[in-house]
Amino acid sequence: MRRWLPAVAAAYLLGSVSFSVLVVRRATGRDLRGEGSGNPGATNALRSAGPRVGAATLALDVGKGAAAVALPLALGAPVAVAGSCAVAVVVGHVYPAFFGFRGGKGVATSFGAFLPLAPWATAAAAGVFAVGSALSRYVSVGSMAAAGALPALVALGRRRGLVRPEPSVLAAATAAAGLVLARHLPNLRRLLAGRELALRNGGRGPRPGEPRSTAVPPAEGPA
């Protein structure tokens, strides 16, 4: 196991590359951390710089999560090491060493990280995200629902032979989900106070005649 520690460290460093900050800076010259919600993630990139930048950021965040896990597996790393890499890349995204340890929520990176380990469960969690966001009209609700569902889906998949049987996969999914949920506590407080920004109107503000209390302060979307 010791010889694979560099892979775990590399996963953290890869996660620490805040693509949302870099892509928005390249596209607009602005620092995303001073725009919108200030959250360096795909949702804030979308709201601050448009759909093309948001889509690019999302793809890069998913890609770095997948690469951090798929590469060690391809090199013959044990599943326990790959699970540690999955957690490490999410930790890097949330607490990036290259960006003052101020990162995003880890949703997209978690999705990418667990695709190589538990594709069925990860795809199902993505479905939970889509349904939760659509029904509630809050991205944060979909994100929290998906994070909470991932460990349960991994456990269910293990029982049915759809997920790798190693307990380290479930442990890694539980750790990553806990981190994502912890990062969404401010969103939960805003939801309870009725101040979370909804999906309607592109997430940019209230419609004409709509009370402003439903739209301020800006929500911190997932990334």
Give 172's contacts (C-beta < 8 A, 6+ positions apart).
Answer: 83, 84, 86, 87, 114, 117
- Domain assignment present for 171: yes
**pLDDT (tens digit, 9 = 90+) per residue, 140-176?**
999 999 999 999 999 999 888 888 888 999 999 999 9
Give me the mean pLDDT over the 47-61 stretch.
94
- Domain assignment present for 17: yes
- Structure-model confidence comparison of residues 78 and 200, the more confident one: 78
- Domain assignment present for 208: no
- Domain assignment present for 214: no
Collapsing DSSP to helix, strand or coil, 207 comes out as coil
- Domain assignment present for 194: yes
How far apart are the C-alpha atoms of 135 and 143, rounded to whole Å? 12
The torsion of the CA quartet 23, 37, 101, 142, rounded to 10 degrees, works out to: -90
- Domain assignment present for 209: no
51-74 and 107-114 helices, crossing angle to 10°? 40
- Domain assignment present for 31: yes
Domains held by the chain: number:
1
Q: Of 17-31, 98-112, 119-133, 186-200, which range is least confident?
A: 186-200
User: How far, in Å, are 22, 40, 195 from residue 33 at the CA level?
Assistant: 11, 6, 20
The alpha carbon of 9 is separated from its chain's Cα centroid by a whole number of angstroms, namely: 19
How far apart are the C-alpha atoms of 41 and 108, rounded to whole Å? 9
Domain that holds residue 144: 2-202
Tokens 């725009």, residue located: 35
Contact (CB, 8 A) for 33 and 102: yes
- Domain assignment present for 180: yes
Tokens 């560099």, residue located: 6
pLDDT band of residue 32 (cuts 50, 70, 90) is very high
* Residue 200: predicted pLDDT: 56
Q: Could you tell me which of 95, 114, 222, 120 has the C-alpha nearest to residue 172?
A: 114
**pLDDT (tens digit, 9 = 90+) per residue, 179-222?**
999 999 999 999 999 888 776 544 443 333 344 333 334 445 55
